[in-house]
C-alpha cells in the first residue's frame, strides 16, 4: 500500500490532532470512536480483498464453455453475413 501522500503525524501535528479529537468527542467517547473506526477499516479491507479475489480468480469451467460457444456462434454469424450469393 502506498501511503506517500499521507502527512507525517508522528510529531507535534499528531499530538495536536489527538488533543482536538479529545476536546471534540470527550474521553468517554474515544474508545467507542476508535472501535467504530476499527470496524470500518476492517469492513473496507474485507470488501477490497473480496473484489480483488473476484477479479483475479480464474474463470469457472462453465463460463469458459459459454465463452467458447459465444465465439463459435459469433464466427458463424459473421461467416453467414459475408457470403456472396
DSSP 6: S
pLDDT digit string (tens) for 37-80? Answer: 999 999 999 999 999 998 888 877 887 788 888 777 777 665 55
Beta strands in 3-77 (DSSP E): none
C-alpha Rg value of the chain to the nearest Å? 27
pLDDT digit string (tens) for 14-29? Answer: 888 888 988 988 888 8
- In 3-state terms the chain splits into helix, strand, coil percentages (rounded to 5) of 75, 0, 25
* Dist. CA 51–CA 81, nearest whole Å: 40
Residue in the structure block whose three cell numbers are 456472396 = 84
Whether this prediction's pTM lies above 0.75 is answered by no
Amino acid at each position: 500500500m502506498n501511503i506517500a501522500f499521507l502527512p507525517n503525524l508522528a510529531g507535534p501535528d499528531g499530538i495536536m490532532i489527538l488533543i482536538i479529537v479529545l476536546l471534540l468527542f470527550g474521553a468517554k467517547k474515544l474508545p467507542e470512536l476508535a472501535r467504530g473506526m476499527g470496524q470500518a477499516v476492517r469492513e473496507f479491507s474485507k470488501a477490497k480483498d473480496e473484489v480483488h479475489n473476484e477479479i483475479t480468480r480464474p474463470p469457472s469451467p462453465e463460463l469458459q464453455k459459454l465463452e467458447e460457444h459465444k465465439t463459435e456462434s459469433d464466427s458463424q454469424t459473421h461467416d453467414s453475413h459475408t457470403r456472396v450469393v
